[in-house]
Amino acid sequence: RIITYHGWGTFQTGRNWSAYLTADRSVYAPIHSVGNLNQIGLDQVSEAYSAGLARRAITEHLEIRLDGGYIHSFSGNSASNIPVFSVNGKFISPQVGRACTRSLVAKATYRRIYQVNNARSLDRNQTFVTLEWRPEPRGLGGR
């Protein structure tokens, strides 16, 4: 089973500026058949909370944003409440987005994550390229 939650709130702070809050949580919990009851399944949880600023840049089609936030990763057995792995950290993440059409946006994101677990660094860099499609709703009469 994989369950993912995502929520956000955006506040327009000026003509070209907006501020936002986001929350993400993903849970992976294996399902075992009756024949595998002796097998220990590990749940994996990842959550991130962030805040940021976005600005429509040079043209209406280009947007830049900067996120910063908290990240938590956990792995363990939910039945016995025994953690196998748990780590907290923070991240910073700039993003550039370009509207290709009214319903299609291309985004490039870099994320730097700072995490430490028992004096062991789990710092890492991530890059994402996203194509976001938001079809325009049609009225009852169509177009």
Separation of alpha carbons 42 and 78, rounded Å: 7
Q: pTM of the prediction?
A: 0.68
Q: Is pLDDT at 123 greater than 70 in this prediction?
A: yes
Per the prediction, the chain carries an average pLDDT of 82
Per-residue pLDDT of 67-93, as tens digits, reads 999 988 888 765 666 667 778 899 999
- For residue range 2-24, what is the model confidence (pLDDT) as tens digits? 888 999 999 999 888 999 999 99
